[in-house]
Amino acid sequence: MAKAFQPYPPLPELEIGDVLLYAPAWHNAVGLIIAVKTWTALSHAESYAGRGLSYGARIEGVDVWPVRIDRYLRYIRRPVLPPGRVFDEDAAWRAIAPMLGRPYQVSGFGAFFAPWSRARRASRICSVLSAYHLRGGGCEVFNPDLEEADVAPAQLYQTPGLRTIWERQKRQPGAGDRKPETGDGRPER
């Protein structure tokens, strides 16, 4: 039986509005193209909804999903709000509620992959959904003139309007992970 994935370092307590950013799977051509097009190792974003759930635009549809904690999770970023201001969970939900329960917008990639396209109304792809959620919650993390349809997962990583609260790191081998040494100082084979 395979061991369950254990993120390292351990995940912090998540808050509604946190953005989870994922690297592409090696077998996912669309994810790899997104990563190459944006010059980052990121291809997917979801917004934390609370109670172990996230708002996500997955190929299965746009909905509320169990948070995906797997080897592709790379960063968790939190909105930076002015002092005394809190993320407006209700307004954020209202901003994305019309998109929930609908199919994934495959045609939205036309706007993403062909920026000169006039079909700019992509709303049911991952980073666009997160941008609507953030703006609805009162967090303007991008230039206000930038349409949500122009936001890629990379920009959710690059914006100063979100701060990184967790970054996946390679596990450092502990003393208990080392192979026993032979008498000459070399590890046993």
CATH code where residue 45 lies? 3.90.1720
Q: Which domain holds residue 37?
A: 19-169
Q: Is residue 177 part of a domain?
A: no
Residue 180 has pLDDT above 50, yes or no: no
Specify the number of domains making up the chain.
1
Q: Is residue 25 part of a domain?
A: yes
Q: Is residue 174 part of a domain?
A: no
CA–CA separation, 135 and 138 (whole Å): 5
Contacts of residue 89, defined as CB under 8 A and 6 or more positions apart, other chains included, come to 16, 17, 50, 137
Q: Is residue 144 part of a domain?
A: yes
For the full predicted model, state whether its pTM sits above 0.85.
no
Lowest mean per-residue pLDDT among 4-8, 48-52, 73-77: 4-8
Q: What is the pLDDT of residues 10-34, one digit of tens each?
A: 889 999 999 999 999 877 777 888 7
Contacts of residue 132, defined as CB under 8 A and 6 or more positions apart, other chains included, come to 95, 96, 99, 123, 148
Segment (H or E) for 76: strand 73-79
Give the strands of the sheet with 162-167, arranged side by side. 61-66, 53-58, 44-50, 19-22, 73-79, 162-167
Q: What is the pLDDT of residue 150?
A: 78
Lowest mean per-residue pLDDT among 56-65, 75-84, 126-135, 138-147: 138-147
Q: What is the mean pLDDT of residues 121-143?
A: 87
Residue 176 has pLDDT above 50, yes or no: no
* Residue of 115 and 106 predicted with greater confidence: 106
Q: Is residue 148 part of a domain?
A: yes
Q: Is residue 4 part of a domain?
A: no
Q: What is the pLDDT of residue 75?
A: 94
Asked if the bond preceding 103 is cis, omega within 30° of 0, the reply is no
Lowest mean per-residue pLDDT among 61-70, 92-101, 113-122, 158-167: 113-122
